[in-house]
């Protein structure tokens, strides 16, 4: 199981319960900064899997935003030439986009997402309540990004986005989806 490493050392709100429900699993805490989306992190995660005795029947569970999903996805695709992958996305971008399409990968100093593979997850577990701890800024930027996805430009989707926004941020301002 891969968890984003928090500055405070503890997972956000409801995520602490997610961790507790997988007691007994090997947990790899990961610095989920974009700067850590690299091959060194893939090496660290796969070595950590090795040390935990993970075999072909093991499961990698990526809990976090797009950075965690992309790196963990690539590690799952590469370790023993592929072990099962489950995403528990915790940001808006990861819930509506990155956890779904099966794209995994990391950056090189030469550019973004240059090494990776298509590796669809076995399962994506999405809970909008996990978005409650996102900062207003994260939510606003992500809702702007997601509203540029054609399939999300429907009235129903923008209503749903507004509702989630209201719940998460008290409706401070409207998200940009229309
Ligand atoms: N694979 C794909 O198809 C695909 C699609 C879109 C984006 N991406 C990639 O996704 C990455 C961006 O992902 P992102 O927008 O999810 O941001 P992110 O993963 O960088 O997370 C942004 C910040 O939010 C924090 N965070 C995550 N969940 C939280 C929560 N529930 N509460 C509070 N804080 C939380 C993280 O710690 C981080 O500091 C980029 O690397 C991009 O290339 C991949």
Domains located in the chain, CATH noted: 2-133 (3.40.50.1970), 134-178 (no CATH)
Which secondary-structure segment (H or E) carries 86? strand 84-89
Higher pLDDT, 151 or 74: 74
> What is the structure's pLDDT at 144?
74
* pLDDT band at residue 126 using 50, 70 and 90 as cut-offs: very high
87 forms beta bridges with 62, 124
Using CA positions, which residue lies closest to atom 41 of ligand 1?
67
User: Among 2-16, 116-130, 151-165, where is mean pLDDT lowest?
Assistant: 2-16
> Which residues, other chains included, contact 69 with Cβ-Cβ below 8 Å and sequence gap of 6+?
62, 87, 89, 94, 98, 99, 104
Digit-coded pLDDT (tens) for 77-88:
999 999 999 999
* pLDDT band at residue 147 using 50, 70 and 90 as cut-offs: low
Task: Please compute the mean of the pLDDT values over residues 148-165 and round it to a whole number.
Answer: 70
pTM of the model: 0.85
> What is the structure's pLDDT at 14?
65
* pLDDT band at residue 177 using 50, 70 and 90 as cut-offs: very low
* pLDDT band at residue 153 using 50, 70 and 90 as cut-offs: low
Which secondary-structure segment (H or E) carries 39? helix 39-51
User: What is the CA(99)–ligand 1 centre distance, in A?
Assistant: 10
Helix/strand/coil for 37? coil
Structure tokens at 134: 């996102």
User: What is the CA(44)–ligand 1 centre distance, in A?
Assistant: 20
Q: Which of 65, 94, 105 to mutate to test the pocket of ligand 1 (most atoms within 8 A of CB)?
A: 65
> What is the structure's pLDDT at 133?
82
């Amino acid at each position: 199981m891969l968890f984003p490493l928090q500055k405070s050392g503890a997972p956000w709100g409801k995520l602490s319960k997610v961790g507790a429900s997988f007691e007994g699993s090997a947990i790899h805490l990961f610095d989920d900064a974009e700067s850590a989306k690299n091959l060194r992190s893939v090496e660290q995660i796969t070595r950590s899997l090795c040390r935990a005795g993970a075999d072909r029947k093991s499961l990698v569970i990526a809990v976090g935003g797009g950075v965690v999903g992309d790196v963990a996805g690539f590690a799952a695709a590469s370790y023993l030439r592929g072990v099962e992958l489950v995403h528990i996305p915790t940001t808006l971008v990861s819930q509506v986009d990155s956890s779904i399409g099966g794209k995994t990968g990391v950056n090189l100093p030469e550019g973004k997402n240059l090494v990776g593979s298509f590796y669809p997850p076995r399962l994506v577990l999405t809970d909008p309540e996990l978005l409650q701890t996102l900062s207003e800024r994260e939510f606003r930027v992500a809702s702007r990004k997601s509203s540029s996805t054609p399939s999300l430009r429907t009235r129903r989707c923008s209503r749903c986005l507004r509702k989630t926004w209201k719940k998460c941020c008290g409706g401070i301002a409207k998200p940009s989806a229309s």
